[in-house]
Amino acid sequence: MKTLLLTLPLLLFLAPAQGADRGKTLHDQHCTSCHSSDAYTRKNHRVRSLEALKDQVGRCHLVLDLKWSQADIDAVVDYLNRTYYHFGE
């Protein structure tokens, strides 16, 4: 029990990082064929909120028929938000 109590906070700390790593991997495998980082950093980019980012990743996932789980979509959204957009920070 003591080990569990000591390990749980570490796992909770590492979980978001693992999601972002998964998001980066998925992004690099599937998104960069159409999008360079300019798509995320140009002044006239379409995504203006976290909800719009979620919608855009969801649309790309459907159009490309990627068969991603909701966790995969969330990981890509998290990666893009942490790396480029910084919504809600």
pLDDT per residue over 26-45, tens digit each? 999 988 877 777 788 888 88
Write down the pLDDT at residue 68. Answer: 95
**One-letter amino acid identity for 85?**
Y
Helices 2-30 and 70-80: angle between axes, nearest 10 degrees: 80
35 falls within a domain: no
9 falls within a domain: no
Global pTM reads 0.74
18 falls within a domain: no
64 falls within a domain: yes
Radius of gyration of the chain (CA): 15
Structural domain containing residue 73: 45-89
79 falls within a domain: yes
Write down the pLDDT at residue 45. Answer: 80
Domain count, the chain: 1
5 falls within a domain: no
Write down the pLDDT at residue 56. Answer: 95
What is the rounded CA–CA span in Å between residue 18 and residue 23? 8
Write down the pLDDT at residue 84. Answer: 92
Ranges under pLDDT 70 in the chain = 1-20, 89
